[in-house]
Amino acid sequence: MEDTGLVTVLLAMLAGAIRVSTPFMFVALGECLTEKSGRINLGLEGTLVFGAMAAYATSFLTGSPWLGVIVAGLSGSLFGALHGAICRLKGVNDIAIGIAMMLFGTGLAFFFGKAYIQPVAPHLPSIALGFWTDNPNLAKALEINPLFLIGIALAVLLWWALANTRMGLILRTTGDSAPAALALGINVDLVRFLATAFGGFLAGIGGAFLSLYYPGSWTEGLSSGQGLMAVALVIFSRWNPLACVGAALLFGAAGALGPALQSIGISRGYHFFNAAPYLLTLIIMILTTSPTRSLKGAPGELSITK
Amino acid sequence: MTDVTLTTPSHPLADLGDRLRRGSEYVVIPLAALLASALLFSLFLLALGKSPVTFVELIWKGGFGSAFAFQQTLVRASPLILTALCVAIPARLGMVVIGGEGALVLGGFAAAVIAIPFVGHAPAVLILPLMALAAVAAGALWIGAVGVLRHYRGINETISSLLLYYIARSILNFFVEGALRDPSDPNKPSTMPIGADNMIGAIPGTTVHWGLAAGIVACVLIWILLNRTTFGFAARITGGNVRAAKAQGLPVGKLVLVSTAIAGACAGLAGFFEVAAIQGKANASLLAGYGFTGILVSFLARHNPLAIVPVAIFLGAINSSGGLIQRRLDLPDATVLVLQGLMFVVLLISDTFYGRFAVFKSKGA
């Protein structure tokens, strides 16, 4: 009896890790790219929430969840563009702007999202990769959303492009030393603007996953800090897109712990396990940072690690 | 973000007119930013077919329109004052702490919990100071931990303080829905009530609780600490340039730890007043978002403790007219959030205008 309980919990955690990690992965990849350009966007939490609302509303109104994903991405890139445009002004602090954008994005999402809390919108489909197994739990765990696979493909692409393409080189140079980039004739502000806008695009898609797949509805408590935890996750991944995927899976598993235990009837410490991802983030940050030396792989222009 | 000019120690021969001229930049620009955000928000309302004039009227009516409304505003302003201090004190060191809500929640929780064994056995004169002490200690430890993580591990305080907020929220829910739940309360999971006899009551002649007075006193004390003591001076140097501060032999670590602990103590105190003056017990109502609005208050006040009081009253008025706006204009309650977010963004954009206008420059300089 105990044995099957453990297997159920592990399978539920695997399934949970895959489900819960997707939004982390998208936000982290977006933030990774933005930070590679030497700027930090703490406003992705707001972007994520707005993306979730926009995707849900679009899917409800048009009946097409994929259109919802695109609208979420586009609205996310608008938020990113706003952040990028403001940060190029002299004397403006990118961290403070991020906090303001977080509140602004969340406020707008709640404002426009009021009408969509009740209705049920079409969800994103999933691919049943568990067709070969008789174990219903395993089959359920392997029902995978296409966005998860797209995220992994994107991580590989970004990892390759950062190291091997001209654009990747421009981005890295801008992030490591703005004066050097200027000397090479690179338009630093433009590169950062585009990197922040693209980062917002990905965060918006992460939000679409939240409202259109898992948990799969639009509520005001939908996101609880995923957008901000992603920033920590990027630091933990040392600005490496591939490591971002691994870290997202780890965070997903931590986030799935509470619901997994609940699925076999252990609900006593539900709120305690809810805190697991935050505690994990904090512990990881404690273990991996140092007060004296700068982090390996950190973009030299990044204010958060200076 | 470091407003050095306003708080530069006065030169004995400093020309008052010059100082006023330079200081006025820090009043005119934020006010212009507020005006600009009001205009933008008006466009937003017009686009939705709502009248901005009615909106302003409703905020006036709901926030200041009657003695009752104004007292409601002040009740909401008091936690804002204390949570804004939680942002303003570390800001002097160049730190952006945004987790004041977590310290408020844990402060309120600690206050409610420590009262449980004494309710009915000890007088309020004993219980209330004990509750306040517990709240202050909980808040100081919570945000102090942010300082520890920053100083000893180099962890960014913005991220760690927000993570700690989520953890604080889980701690509250864990105990309030579990071991410490009052079984006799069928509605909302809460701790045992502290009892009507132990409630802190209102300032005589008003319906405003003592939290407002405490907040104002705290602002004055912290203004003195930051502007008239060597501690404050050292903090400002550190905020300007950490390396220079270290080279001068300033105790940067101690400054960070003490500042974050005091900051957390303020937010914890806000939690104490929410429990001892309003809720009477700890429950999810503590998660009202005061800590997050407090961030905006502190930024609007340019992290100046004395400016925090009027700004907190202003935002308290906007907050307390939210219900009226919702009913009369048929707008969602998140309207207030949109307005606040917009104000925040525009205010930060206005940072770029400092030092650009000759009007504000001293003549001698």
pLDDT at position B148, please? Answer: 97
DSSP 8-state secondary structure symbol assigned to residue A116: G
Chain B interface includes A280 (CB < 8 A) = no
A138 located within any domain: no
| Residues B344, A268: C-beta atoms closer than 8 Å | no
Option in B164, B338, B345 nearest A100 (CB): B345
Q: Which domain holds residue A114?
A: 2-121+165-288
Q: What is the pLDDT of residue B1?
A: 46
For residues B252 and A69, what is the distance between their CA atoms, to the nearest angstrom?
Answer: 47
Which residue, among B210, B135, B174, has the nearest Cα to B284 in the 3D structure?
Answer: B174
Mark which residues 160-179 of A lie under 8 Å from B by CB: none
pLDDT score recorded for residue A140:
76
Q: For residue B96, give the chain A residue with the closest CA.
A: A96
Instruction: Give the residues of chain A that fall short of pLDDT 70.
Output: 1-3, 293-294, 304-306
Residue A24 lies in a domain: yes
pLDDT of amino acid B364: 52
Q: What is the pLDDT of residue A2?
A: 52
> What is the H or E stretch that residue B58 is in?
helix B52-63
Q: For residue B2, what are its two tokens?
A: 């470091």
Residue A73 lies in a domain: yes
Q: Search chain B and give the residue with CA nearest A85.
A: B349
Query: Does A231 reside within a domain?
Result: yes
Tell me if A40 is assigned to some domain: yes
A 197-226 → B contacts, CB under 8 A: 224-225
CB A37 within 8 A of CB A171: yes
- The CA distance from B111 to B164, in Å, is 19
User: What's the pLDDT at B9?
Assistant: 55
Instruction: List, in sequence order, every residue forming a beta bridge with B190; answer none if it has no partner.
Output: B283
pLDDT, position B11? 58
Q: Domain of A21: which CATH number?
A: 1.10.3470
Note the pLDDT of residue A192.
96
- For the whole model, what pTM was predicted? 0.91
Instruction: Please answer yes or no on whether A86 and B96 come within 8 Å at the CB atom.
Output: no
CB contact under 8 A, B337 and A110: yes
- Look at strands A127-128 and A143-144 and give their pairing: antiparallel
- Number of separate domains in chain A: 1
Option in B1, B164, B174 nearest A271 (CB): B174
Mutate which of A97, A103, A108, A224 to test chain B, going by most B C-beta atoms within 10 A? A103
Specify the pLDDT at position A221.
Answer: 86
Strand partners, A143: A128
Half-sphere exposure of A40 (CA within 13 A, CB side): 27
Residue A292 Cα, gap to closest chain B Cα (Å): 8
In a domain, A127, yes or no: no
At residue B60, the pLDDT reads: 94
Name the residue facing A272 among B155, B162, B174 (closest C-beta).
B174
Burial level of B243, CB count in 10 A (0-12/13-18/19+)?
A: exposed
Q: What's the ipTM?
A: 0.92
With a cut of 50, list the residues of chain B below it in pLDDT: 1-4, 365
In chain A, which among 100-129 make CB contacts under 8 A with chain B?
100-101, 103-108, 110-111, 114
Q: Residue A305: closest CA among chain B residues belongs to which residue?
A: B156
**Measuring CA to CA, which residue among B8, B1, B36 is closest to residue B22?**
B8
Q: Above pLDDT 70, what percent of chain B?
A: 95
Q: Quick check: A228 and B162 CB within 8 A?
A: yes
Could you give the CA distance from residue B177 to residue A24 in angstroms, rounded to a whole number? 28
Residue A249 contacts residue A21 (beta carbons within 8 Å):
yes
- Lookup: tokens for A148: 């998860």
Residue from the list A89, A92, A99 with its beta carbon closest to the beta carbon of B98: A99
Cβ under 8 Å to B: A residues 52-81: none
Structure tokens at A14: 């695997």
Are the Cβ atoms of A104 and B299 closer than 8 angstroms? no
* Tokens standing for residue B167: 């953890």
Contact A106 B156 (CB under 8 A): no
Cβ within 8 Å, pair A285-B153: yes
In a domain, A229, yes or no: yes
Q: Which of B146, B144, B136 is nearest to B106 (CA)?
A: B136
**Cβ–Cβ contact A92 with B under 8 A:** yes
pLDDT digits (tens, 9 = 90+) for B27-82: 899 999 999 999 999 999 999 999 999 999 999 999 999 999 999 999 999 999 99
Over residues B312-333, the pLDDT tens digits come to: 999 999 999 988 998 999 999 8
Q: Are the C-beta atoms of residues B328 and B60 closer than 8 Å to each other?
A: no
Determine the residue among B86, B98, B292, B303 to mutate to test chain A binding: the one whose Cβ has the most chain A Cβ atoms within 10 Å: B98
pLDDT over 90 for what percent of chain A?
Answer: 58
- Residue type at B182 in one-letter notation: D
Q: What pLDDT, on a 0 to 100 scale, did the predictor assign at position A7?
A: 82
CB contact under 8 A, A228 and B342: no
Q: How far is C-alpha A10 from the geometric centre of its chain's CA atoms?
A: 24
| Domain contains A126 | no
CA distance B201 to chain A (A): 33
CB contact under 8 A, A100 and B98: no
Cβ contact, residue pair B160, A282, below 8 Å:
yes
